[in-house]
């Protein structure tokens, strides 16, 4: 019998013995009056009543020590002969293990080493842990296991818990900013007949009640613009997005995204608002505008640059994308040894891969502008150059973290661009946008001049300085049995 199995059996026996003695091993509530943080700030001699998980237990004869943890901190518990009731001391010694949740009543003291502690007077078992916690100093060593059992990762690492506290604040601050600017928060469908609003491969599922194949949304854009048609001047949504594409340190298949739409404004107005929003969020969540991201020093407080899409590609690669053919673009990709997907290849995908090569050395912050119309089927053409669109992307640390534009509200132009996208799909480009006749119909009723913008949780991962999967609280993982079966093959 292994050591862990022995521990599990011992704990199960404790549960059985406690139940025989009439003890409720998993009681329904506890009147917790003080957080651990409040206990640590209390005066010596104060009476406190708190609860949390025991993360350690150390017995030294007539005195025992334990660490109690809640979401706000850790505090030492002291069980001392003659000062802790004998019944409580005995119960702790015999039945309580590291990992158990307990309720505590006691007195704040300072030990000989100067540590603020609780001298325990009462103890109640709130939840018996059957499985032992990972060793404190070794923890979860396997990266996959750490993400699969994120709850253990959070228990053992305070810094991991703090990441998700900051992430919560990230979305709260964004929501607060937009609400204070007069935007209304809405919810739009996740299941769609026609996915749209982005170039991405969708997930497909079946709706049993309607006996209908549907898609998980890749963006809420076309729904939100319908609301602008309906007469709402400022709307936004924070919700889940699903894209059935590749994974890397910056991209996942299901993630949270915010999009806003603002009537009677254009992309210049959008850029000003977005710059203000990014700075507000950074200060609210991280307390600074200066970050180290992927080896770049990024200062959101300095003047934001303007980067010309066509000009930068020409400067770095020598290719004028406005005059080059699909074959010339592909040849340049090969010459530069840039990997690309040959399936469904077209000039749009080729130029996108060229740009990804060019952006790698740009620290930002800045706005990428002057994008060709064939790259963006939903943006309004520039007045002075109809071959370009009024689109911008936020550039930080060699990547794009946010995109906005003046929204296309000409239904005839929109229909034509959807038809061009449909031709690309028929040639094998699974990321090209689908033709959405119902959205075009909505535009025919009239949509005022509008600017829109979208940003995903990738911005948070950038500011946090970690891969995006590390910043998802429960990222999708292959189950263990799947890995084992695959290994056997």
Q: pLDDT digits over 260-315, tens only?
A: 999 999 999 999 999 999 999 999 999 999 999 999 999 999 999 999 999 999 99
Residue 368 has phi, psi (to 5 degrees) of -90, 120
SS3 98: coil
Task: With cut-offs at 50, 70 and 90, classify the pLDDT of residue 183.
Answer: very high
**H-assigned helices in 290-391:** 309-317, 326-335, 347-358
Cis peptide before 75 (omega within 30 of 0): no
Q: Cβ distance 370 to 311 under 8 Å? A: yes
Q: Name the phi and psi angles at 297, rounded to 5.
A: -90, 115
Report yes or no: 367 and 306 within 8 Å, Cβ to Cβ: yes
Show the DSSP H helices in 320-476 as ranges. Answer: 326-335, 347-358, 411-426, 437-444, 458-464
How is residue 189 written in tokens? 């469908």
CA 358 to chain centre: 27
d(CA 291, CA 172): 21
Report the largest interatomic distance among the alpha carbons of the chain, rounded to a whole angstrom. 89
Angstrom distance (rounded) from CA 79 to CA 95: 14
pLDDT at 489: 52
Mean pLDDT along residues 448-457: 97
| Local structure of residue 223 (DSSP, 8 states) | H
Report CA 167 to chain centroid distance, whole Å: 7
Residue 486, pLDDT above cutoff 80: no
pLDDT value at 167 more than 80? yes
pLDDT of residue 138: 56
435 and 423 Cβ atoms separated by less than 8 Å: no
Span 193-247, pLDDT tens digits: 998 888 889 999 999 999 999 999 999 999 999 999 999 999 999 999 999 988 8
Mean pLDDT over all residues of the chain?
93
pLDDT, residue 244, reads 92
How far apart (Å, rounded) are the C-alpha atoms in residues 112 and 448? 72
**Domains of the chain, first to last:** 3-127 (2.40.50.140), 156-488 (3.30.930.10)
pLDDT for the residue 345:
87
- Candidates 284, 122, 221, 226; CA nearest to 438 is 226
* Spatial contact of 250 and 458, defined as CB atoms under 8 Å apart: yes
Residue 482: its pLDDT value, please? 63
Over residues 410-424, the pLDDT tens digits come to 999 999 999 999 888
**What is d(CA 79, CA 472) in angstroms, rounded to the nearest whole number?**
39
What was the pLDDT predicted at 136?
A: 62
Tell which phi-psi region holds residue 470, choosing left (phi > 0), alpha (psi between -120 and 50) or beta: alpha
Residue 267 pLDDT: 97
| Average confidence (pLDDT) over 368-383 | 92
CB atoms within 10 A of CB 56: 16
Helix, coil or strand: residue 273: helix
Q: Is the dihedral of CA 384, 385, 390, 391 positive or negative?
A: negative
The whole-angstrom separation of Cα 381 and Cα 371 is 10
- Rg of the chain, C-alpha, whole Å: 29
Exposure of 404 by Cβ count < 10 A (0-12 exposed, 13-18 middle, 19+ buried)? buried
Phi and psi at residue 487, to the nearest 5° = -65, -35
Task: State the pLDDT at residue 431.
Answer: 83
């Amino acid at each position: 019998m292994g050591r862990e199995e022995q521990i599990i059996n011992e704990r199960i026996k404790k549960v059985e013995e406690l139940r025989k003695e009439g003890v409720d091993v998993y009681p329904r509530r506890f009147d917790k009056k003080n957080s651990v943080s409040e206990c640590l700030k209390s005066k010596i001699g104060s009476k406190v009543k708190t609860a949390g998980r025991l993360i350690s237990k150390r017995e030294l004869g007539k005195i025992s020590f334990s660490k109690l943890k809640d979401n706000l901190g850790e505090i030492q518990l002291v069980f001392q002969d003659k000062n802790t009731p004998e019944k409580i001391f005995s119960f702790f010694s015999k039945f309580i293990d590291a990992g158990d949740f307990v309720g505590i009543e006691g007195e704040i003291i300072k030990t000989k080493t100067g540590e603020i502690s609780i001298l325990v007077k009462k103890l109640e078992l709130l939840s018996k842990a059957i499985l032992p916690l990972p060793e404190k100093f070794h923890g979860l060593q396997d990266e996959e296991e750490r993400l699969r059992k994120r709850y253990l990762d959070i228990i053992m690492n305070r810094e991991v818990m703090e990441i998700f506290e900051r992430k919560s604040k990230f979305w709260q601050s964004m929501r607060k900013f937009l609400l204070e600017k007069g935007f209304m928060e809405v919810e739009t469908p996740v299941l769609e007949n026609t996915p749209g609003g982005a170039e991405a491969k969708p997930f497909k599922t079946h709706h049993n009640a309607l006996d209908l194949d549907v898609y998980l949304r890749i963006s809420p854009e076309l729904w939100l613009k319908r609301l602008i048609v309906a007469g709402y001047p400022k709307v936004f949504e924070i919700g889940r997005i699903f894209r059935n594409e590749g994974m890397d340190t910056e991209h996942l298949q299901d993630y949270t995204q915010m999009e806003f739409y603002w009537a009677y404004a254009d992309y210049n107005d959008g850029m000003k608002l977005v710059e203000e929003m990014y700075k507000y969020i950074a200060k609210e969540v991280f307390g600074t505008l200066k970050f180290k991201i992927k080896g770049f020093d990024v200062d959101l407080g300095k003047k934001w640059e303007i980067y010309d899409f066509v000009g930068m590609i020409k400067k770095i690669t020598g290719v004028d994308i406005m005059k080059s053919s699909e074959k010339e673009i592909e040849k340049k990709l090969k010459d530069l040894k840039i990997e690309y997907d040959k399936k469904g290849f077209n000039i749009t995908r080729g130029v996108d891969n060229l740009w990804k090569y060019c952006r790698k050395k740009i620290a930002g912050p800045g706005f990428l502008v002057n994008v060709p119309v064939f790259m963006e089927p939903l943006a309004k053409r520039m007045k002075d150059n109809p071959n370009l669109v009024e689109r911008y992307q936020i550039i930080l640390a060699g990547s794009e973290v946010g995109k906005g534009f003046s929204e296309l509200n000409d239904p005839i132009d929109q229909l034509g661009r959807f038809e061009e996208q449909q031709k690309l799909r028929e040639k094998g480009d699974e990321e090209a946008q689908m033709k959405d006749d119902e959205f075009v119909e909505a535009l025919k009723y009239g949509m005022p001049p509008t600017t829109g913008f979208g940003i995903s949780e990738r911005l948070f991962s950038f500011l946090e300085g970690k891969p995006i999967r590390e910043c998802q609280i429960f990222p999708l993982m292959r189950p263990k049995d799947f890995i084992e079966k695959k290994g056997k093959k």
